[in-house]
Structure 1
Amino acid sequence: MAKLKPRARLIRTIGDKLISGPEAAIIELVKNAYDADSPSVEITIYPPSLDDSGKITIRDFGHGMTYNNILNDWLEPATDTKTKNSLSKSGSRIVLGAKGVGRFASARLGKKITLTSVAKLDNAYQKSSLKLDWGIFESNTYLDDIDIDIDKTELKSADNTGVTIQITDLSTIWDKKKVQKLTRELRRLATPQTDQSTQFDIHLDLQHFTENNPEPYNFNGQQLLLESNSTGDVVEESQTNKKTLITPYRISKESDYHLVGEFDLDGKFTGTFTIVRGDNQPIQLNLDAPPLEIGELSCGPIRVDLKLYDLEKESIEKLFDRMGLNFSEFGLRNARSLISENTGIGIYRTGFRIRPYGEPDNDWLKLESRRVQNPSRKIGHGQISGTISVSSENDSNLIERSSREGLESNSAFDRLVTLITNVLVKIEQRRFDFRAKAGISRKPTKQIDKARELSSLESITKAVYSLPAEEQKPLLLKIEKESQALTKALDEIEAYQSLLESRAALGMVVAQVIHDGRTYLDPISSSAKSIIEKAPFVLEDSKRGEVVRKYYPTYGQAILDGSKGLSSLFKSLDPISGRRRGRPTTFLGLDNISNTLNLLEETLIEYSVTVELDVDDELKLYGYPGDLQSAMVNIIHNAIHWLSSTKNPNKTVQIASQVEGSMAKISISNNGPLIDEYDKETIFEAGFSLKSDGHGLGLAIAKEACKSSNGDLYLDRNSVDTCFVITYPISQ
């Protein structure tokens, strides 16, 4: 019977094909160190000199390999040892290598290798050494004709166990560009470690690269590592002072939006979406699992942690402010570059990145092609970063290519893409809605004041004064007349503009009510329909009846939640309903404010908010008491919401009054987050909201309510705290 007789050069051929480049080769050896339970790995590169061809050493401090391990495992290509044993020797790590081809990585780096291993054997230690010249595999000799010598020595004691691999006759020119690429690859290899029990540090020693070396190795290696190792980390202080430690990429904990959650084995998502730049309150997000098609493989349970960024100048300024950085020191281009350097969604297994996912130029989710269709709504590849953690190959069916360049394109990978895309569609809509309400990218400006300056015709007047005295008078009279006419026209325009704004606000309120009303009505309608359709099966003694009874309470809860939402929405609209309310009356301001606080008492207690009153107990107001109370409820309720988003232990709302002429000024301030300068122009517009679940009607309605009683509502821009002021007529 015939047998395959592989030639020795097959080993070199496999090595060149399976390991895509020198960076991938080093990463494979780093993963081997992890599988050996080593707490760290040390990589040292010695560049070639006039007397030496250079070398690379990779040292770990794991359990090492015995003589038999080297003979029966390391020298056996495609061994199934790690496939049979998915956990490391200590049982604390899931092994990364399972193909049995990682040893070819050293062949990709240089022609010769010296492997030295110290392992514990019974009550003693064993030191084994192997020397190998990969050049012998380039001959026409058959593979089983090649002999490899291995030495072993028994030791009574040893300082450390582990493996040291020394590679000489380097096949790669490690110039500055190549070293920078290796540093980036190592930084992206691992997620920031949080579990000390699986701590694994990667060290890269470049001290042998100096400016005195011959070209192209004449650069300061330690300085290059420092610079490459800190790119994108200026936003967070380094966690260590070690000069050789590789630090994973981290663009601070800040972002504009944050998605965290998990897909279960079936593909059902449970998590939260937080609008960080808004009220920073997590919103529950649940998605049902799409059904598995015939022949489709599950991609197993998945953990998702994604950060999203807005890239408008004002958005980046706010982001940098939350990071504690001075935006002006970076400029818009450098700031965007900093974010771009850290974008990319990486796929991780047991804490290690699967190349090339997560690199800035690897858009494996095809986000840019999606964004082209709708750039204002869709997220681009340069606006998102984070991690997707998948389980083992057996549990996920996500198989790494033998070349270590990505995952095989099977139905499990297609399902992974589908699941992530589905959840992105959901959060893109929420982001879009928030941006619309927050007025991002919308910059309405009023030019009336500028027009008034121009209407004085000051520049023309100055030019006239340069003429002879006898020519000035008629021209100045004409200019004054024209200026007065312009001013009068501007007054009329401004009055008409105010009327239009008031009507537009009301129109926006109606539009928003229709939008939000449908949001509440949809689950009511859907649940009511389900109750009617499934009523015949409620008492049925069957599997179907069991399922119906399980979900029946959820229909009732959905109807209750929807009715509460509608009730709240209608209640907030009452002040501008236009219904007949009789004549205005005289009432005590303090009584009205006290009644308002009584309505909010439970909420104030729940969020530990203290109210300080400084209101004249004899202050008499004239108007509709409901208008003042409606405005007060909206303002105080907003204050409670934003105070609850902070960790301030002394949450306080202060209410004070004073009288100026025929109007009373009631100020309501709180020591919560300040309103951003950019948002101050739009906070009273209907639909504007920075709350995750806000309908954006509160302040618009409060302002209209005050106007209904011939008062007004404005933001005090000179106050140290966030302060709204209600002007209200006093009783004459």
Structure 2
Amino acid sequence: MAKLKPRARLIRTIGDKLISGPEAAIIELVKNSYDADSPSVEISIDPPSESDSGKIIVKDFGHGMTYDNILNDWLEPATDTKTKNTLSKSGKRTVLGAKGVGRFASASLGKKIKLTSTARLHSGYEKSSLKLDWSIFESNTYLDDIDIDINRTEISSADSTGVSIEITELSTIWDEKKVRKLVRELRRLATPQHDETAQFDIYLDLKHFSKGNPEPYNFNGPQLLFETNRIAEVIEDSNADNTKKTSNTLITPYRISKESDYHLQGSFDAAGKFTGTFTIVRGDNLPIPLNLEAPPLEIGELPCGPIGVDLRLYDLEKESIEKLLERMGLSFSDFGLRNARAMISENTGIGIYRTGFRIRPYGEPDNDWLKLENRRVQNPSKRIGHGQISGTINVGSESESNLIERSSREGLETNSAFERLVTLITNVLLKIEQKRFDFRAKAGISRKPVKRIEKARELSSLDSITRAVRNLPEEAQKPLLLKIEKESQILTKTLDEIEAYQRLLESRAALGMVVAQVVHDGRTYLEPINSSAKSIIKNAPYVLEDSPKGELVRKFYPSYGQAVLDGSKGLSSLFKSLDPISGRRRGRPVEFSAIESINNTLNLLAEALIMSSVNVELEVDEHLKLYGYPGDLQSAMVNIIHNAIHWLKSTENNKKIVEISSKVEGGMAKISISNNGPLIDEQDQNAIFDAGFSLKSDGHGLGLSIAKEACKNSNGDLSLDEDYIDTCFVITYPISQ
């Protein structure tokens, strides 16, 4: 029988031919250090000079390799050791390598390698060393004809265990561009670990790069890494003044920026069902539950296992970026629009991570593996582009997820499991893109806000068309002017109907907000009435009976009556509170008590105030009399206080307060309603009263518009006090004279 006889150059194929590039080769060596339970790895690059050909040293402090490990595992191509043992020697880490080819990555970095390992034995320590010249594998000899220089020495003590790999006669020209790419790759390799047992630091020593070197190595290596880390820290925590922690050797891991305009977080189960939340950060910052059923598996399609999702989205208009930088604690003027967009772009990209380590090249700014830009071309106003999203997709092991890494370490095999992964993520994006689109429309982002109905009335006169027609010959004007007048009348009538409907909304919208409160209070009052009525009917035959039971019934009869009376009083109070906003015929304006109308409003919203832990501080003149329609004031206040409750819920303030105060100026009363929630951005202050404008996740943009129109109906007004320290709305209302 014949046997395969591999030639020596097969190793070169596995090494520098299969590994995609020098950055990938170094990353493979770093992963080996992680698998060895090392708390850190140190990488040093010494560029070539006149005296030597340069070298790279990769050193870890893990458990090391014994002589037998090197002989039977490290020197065995495609070993299945890590496939059989998926956990590291300590049992605390899931190993990253499995194909047994990563160790030959050094072949693509330089011609010669020296491996030194210190490992612990039962009776002491063993120090082993291996020297290898990769050029010998370029010969036509067979693999089993090549001898490798390896020796070992037993020692009684050692400062630490671990492996050091020194690579000389470098194959790559490590110029500034190449070093920057390596730094970026190492930064994006690992996410910050919350588990101390999995903590893994990467150090990169670039002190041998200096401006005194010949080209292309004449750049300041430590400063390059320092500046790169500084940008990472600014984006991560916005603490631009704190430079003490910035290092010129420790790689600052890539982190998703804490600030964004939108945030998607959740997970897919093994079947593909998504459960999570979508938060409009630049809006009310309240998580919106998001649930998607799993799409059925097609015939032959592989599942991709449980998946964790954490994505952040950005708007790129100038005003949006200004607000984003403001939330990050940065000044837009320090960056400018171009640099700010470049900073966002540098940190965009959706990375796929396994065991806390990124699978290359997913997550690179130029790797659009979800084909987001192709989708965006078809609908740019709604779809998210690759440069607008960053985050992580966490997948399981290869056996759990069916997502197999290519031997080249350049991505995952494009099998049906990978295609399903793309489908699942795309389906979620479709949902949040619509929510983002709806929010942007309501918030007036990237479009002119819709003006009030007065502007439409001006346009309905068709004056510009009329003027143009008057330039025509006189005989041609008459039929056209008659047609224009007719169309103008139709438009005016339509606008009258819209305005009438808007006024109807003024009364009904406020009522809709308090339906839940009405049902709650109504049931509370009806329960004792219902219970007492049943007891009265049931015990009526015993009222006049001369017996112990009759005596007991007569004793409790007054309490039944009192319960019915209390319940009826409660219902009466509730109906009285609802009466002003019931939408009944208005009649003439009347004189009414300001404090009574305000108390009715607070009574309607009592449940919402209590559930949201909002305290109301009331400083209103008890003798203040207003003149107008009580329902207008109450409708306005319901909308304003309901808004205040919503925004106070979006903060972590432990003392949520709504303050209501009053004062009189001339013939008008000014009722101020303030809250200590988030302030309204200056750019939004002119638009908040426009119908349709909203920053709420599920808002309709009618509340403040209705409140303002309600005040105007009673010859008053509603405005925002821009000079007040908190968010403060001021209702101006006529007083009784």
Name the CA shift for 1:573/1:342 in 2 (closer, same or farther; >3 Å).
Answer: farther
The one-letter amino acid of 1:431's match is R
Matching residue's letter, 2:630: P
- Which range is displaced more, 212-221 or 139-148? 212-221
Structure-1 residue corresponding to 2:199: 199
Query: 1:684 is paired with a residue of what secondary structure?
Result: coil
Q: 1:265-414 to 2 correspondence within 5 Å? A: 265-414=270-419
CA distance in 1 between partners of 2:219 and 2:8 (Å): 39
Check whether the contact 1:233–1:251 (CA below 8 A) recurs between aligned residues: no
Contact 2:450 2:692 in 1 (8 A): no
What is the identity, as a one-letter code, of the residue corresponding to 1:593?
A: I
Q: Distance in 1 between matches of 2:422 and 2:496?
A: 46
- Alignment correspondent of 1:464: none
SS in 1 for 2:420: helix
**How far does residue 604 in structure 1 lie from its aligned partner after superposition?**
2.1
1:613 and 2:618 equivalent?
yes
Residue by residue over 1:661-700, the C-alpha shift from the partner in whole angstroms, topping out at 9 and shown as x without a partner, is 3322111111211111111111112222111122222111
Runs (4+) of structure 1 moved beyond 3 Å?
237-242, 443-447, 499-511, 572-579
Report the secondary structure of 2:154's partner residue.
strand
Q: Tell me which residue corresponds to 2:710.
A: 705
Structure 2 unmatched ranges of 5 or more: 453-490, 513-576
SS of the aligned residue for 2:234 comes to coil
| AA aligned opposite 1:115 | L
Q: Is the 8 A contact 2:229 2:246 kept in 1?
A: no
Task: Name the amino acid aligned to 2:295.
Answer: P
- Correspondence for 2:733: 728
Contact kept in structure 2, 1:233 and 1:249, CA below 8 Å: no
Query: Partners of 2:591 and 2:447 in 1: how far apart?
Result: 42
- What code does the residue aligned with 1:193 have? Q
Residue in 1 that maps onto 2:105: 105
The separation in 1 between residues aligned to 2:498 and 2:624, in whole angstroms, is 32
**What is the CA-CA distance between 1:445 and the residue it aligns to?**
9.7
Aligned CA distance change for structure 1 residues 724 and 377 (closer, same or farther; 3 Å)? same
**Separation in 2, partners of 1:313, 1:250:** 24
Q: CA 1:508–1:25 in 2, change beyond 3 Å: closer, same or farther?
A: farther
Q: Are residues 116 and 189 of structure 1, via their aligned partners in 2, closer, same or farther at CA, if it must alter by over 3 Å?
A: same
Cα distance in 1 for residues equivalent to 2:703 and 2:274: 33
1:682 matches 2:687: yes
- Which segment is superposed worse, 576-585 or 312-321? 576-585
Change (3 A) 1:294 1:422: same
Distance 2:148 2:579 in 1: 90
User: Contact (CA 8 Å) 2:226, 2:246: kept in 1 or not?
Assistant: no
Residue pairs, 1:407-426, within 5 angstroms: 407-426=412-431
Q: C-alpha distance in 2, partners of 1:633/1:134?
A: 80
CA contact (8 A) 1:233 1:252 kept: no
CA contact under 8 A between 2:721 and 2:730: conserved in structure 1? yes
Q: Which one of the candidate residues 584, 587, 592 is aligned to 1:587?
A: 592
Q: What is the one-letter code of the residue matched to 1:435?
A: R
1:58 and 2:64 are equivalent in the alignment: no
Would the aligned equivalents of 1:274 and 1:281 in 2 still touch at CA under 8 Å? yes
Correspondent of 1:259 among 257, 261, 264? 264
1:667 aligned residue (643, 667, 672): 672
Q: CA 1:67/1:20 → structure 2, altered by over 3 Å: closer, same or farther? A: same
- CA shift, 1:228, in A, is 2.6
Q: Contact between 2:63 and 2:119, CA under 8 Å: does it hold in 1?
A: yes
Q: Which of 1 and 2 has greater Rg?
A: 2
Q: State yes or no: 1:223 paired with 2:223.
A: yes
Q: Which moved more, 1:340-349 or 1:718-727?
A: 718-727
Are 2:449 and 2:693, in contact at CA under 8 Å, matched by a contact in 1? no
Which amino acid counterpart does residue 183 of structure 1 have in structure 2? V
In structure 1, distance between residues paired with 2:6 and 2:499? 82
Cα distance in 2, alignment partners of residues 700 and 69 from structure 1: 75
TM-score, reference length from structure 2: 0.81
Deviations 1:295-333 (A, max 9, x none): 100000000000000111111111111111011111111
Asked if the contact 2:61–2:160 (Cα under 8 Å) also holds between the matched residues in 1, the reply is yes
- CA displacement at 1:369 relative to structure 2: 0.7
Partner in structure 2 of residue 133 of structure 1: 133
Residue 627 of structure 2 corresponds to residue 645 of structure 1: no
In the TM superposition, residue 444 of structure 1 has moved relative to its aligned partner by: 4.4
Pair 195,353 (structure 1): closer, same or farther in 2 beyond 3 Å: same
Deviations 1:209-262 (A, max 9, x none): 112222221221111111233334323347934431001233631111001100
Deviation at 1:149, TM superposition (A): 2.2
Cα pair 2:451 2:690 within 8 Å, conserved: no
Note if 1:168 corresponds to 2:168: yes
Question: What is the Cα deviation at residue 593 of structure 1?
Answer: 0.8
CA distance in 2, matches of 1:103, 1:617: 84
User: TM-score, structure 1 length as denominator?
Assistant: 0.82
Matched, 1:214 2:214: yes
In the alignment, residue 301 of structure 1 is paired with which amino acid?
Answer: P
Distance 2:504 2:126 in 1: 80
Deviation per CA, 1:630-677, whole angstroms, max 9, x where unpaired? 111111111122122222233221111122233221111112111111
Match of 1:426, SS? helix
State the number of aligned residues: 627
Give the Cα–Cα distance (whole angstroms) in 2 for the partners of residues 101 and 272 of structure 1: 40
**Distance of 2:51 and 2:371 partners within structure 1:** 50
Equivalent AA in structure 1 for residue 190 of structure 2: A
1-side partners of 2:140 and 2:387: how far apart? 50
Question: CA offset at residue 507 of structure 1?
Answer: 6.2
Which whole-Å deviations, capped at 9, do the CAs of 1:546-573 have from their partners, x for residues lacking one? xxxxxxxxxxxxxxxxxxxxxxxxxx99
1:186 maps to what in 2? Answer: 186
Q: CA deviation at 1:606?
A: 2.6
Matches within 5 A, 1:428-507: 428-444=433-449
Aligned-pair distance for 1:584?
2.6
Deviations 1:386-408 (A, max 9, x none): 00000000000000000000000
Q: Deviations over 1:176-219 (max 9, x none)?
A: 11111111111111112322220000000000111222222122
1:78 aligns with 2:83: no
The 5 A counterparts of 1:144-163 are 144-163=144-163
Please, which runs of 5 or more residues in structure 1 have no aligned partner? 448-495, 518-571
- The answer as to 2:9 corresponding to 1:9 is yes
Q: Which residue of 1 aligns with 2:723?
A: 718
Conserved 8 A contact 1:508-1:686: no
* Match in the other structure for 1:695: 700
- How many Å separate the matches in 1 of 2:133 and 2:303? 44
Shift of 1:89: 0.7
RMSD of aligned C-alpha atoms? 2.6
2:253 pairs with 1:248: yes
Q: CA–CA distance in 2 between the matches of 1:239 and 1:81?
A: 43
Mark the CA change 1:279 to 1:505 in structure 2 (over 3 Å): closer, same or farther. Answer: farther
**Which residue does 1:536 correspond to in 2?**
none
CA contact (8 A) 2:581 2:631 kept: no
| C-alpha contact (below 8 Å) 1:573/1:701 kept by paired residues | no
Residues 342-383 of structure 1: per-residue CA shift (max 9 Å, x gap): 000000000111011000010000001111111111111000
Instruction: Give, in whole Å, the separation in 2 of the partners of 1:635 and 1:162.
Output: 66
Offset, 1:446: 8.8
* Distance in 1, Cα, partners of 2:83 & 2:648: 54
Asked whether the equivalents of residues 232 and 341 of structure 1 are also in contact (C-alpha less than 8 Å), the reply is no
